[in-house]
Amino acid sequence: MFPKNICFQNSDSLLITWEDGHESCYPFYDLRLACRCAECINEVTGEKVLKKENVSPYVYPTNLEYVGRYALGISFSDGHKTGIYTFDILRKLCPCCKGNS
């Protein structure tokens, strides 16, 4: 599934409209916590290294860019720049469908 449109929703969320017309709204804070890069997840154990208490509830994206045709790269206001969110993962993270789409 590929995004048809990506935009900011209010001042705290990212809105993705998918090819099938479904809309997913992701709070910035939740997206930051969902990062699966090597800085946020232990590559060997898969254990989450990033702690909730270390992320500001006011974190926001400073840059969005497509990574090929499979992912979205997001840089955040806390200086984190290595987050790559595959479209499959983003769809599974959708708050309203909980990955059942």
Question: Per-residue pLDDT tens for 67-86?
Answer: 999 999 999 999 999 999 99
Whole domain around residue 88: which residue ranges?
Answer: 3-92
- Amino acid 36: pLDDT: 94
Residues with Cβ within 8 Å of 34's Cβ and at least 6 positions away in sequence, in order, are 85, 89, 93
Flag whether 49 is in a domain.
Answer: yes
Q: How many structural domains compose the chain?
A: 1
Per-residue pLDDT, averaged over 33-48, amounts to: 95
The answer to the question of residue 86 being in a domain is yes
Measuring CA to CA, which residue among 24, 36, 28 is closest to residue 97? 24
> Is residue 66 included in any domain, yes or no?
yes
Amino acid at 75: S
3-state secondary structure of 53: helix
**Average per-residue pLDDT in the chain?**
94
For residue 101, being part of any structural domain is answered with no
Assigned domain for 63 exists? yes
Range 42-51 average pLDDT: 95
CATH no. for residue 26?
A: 3.30.2020.30
pLDDT of residue 69: 94
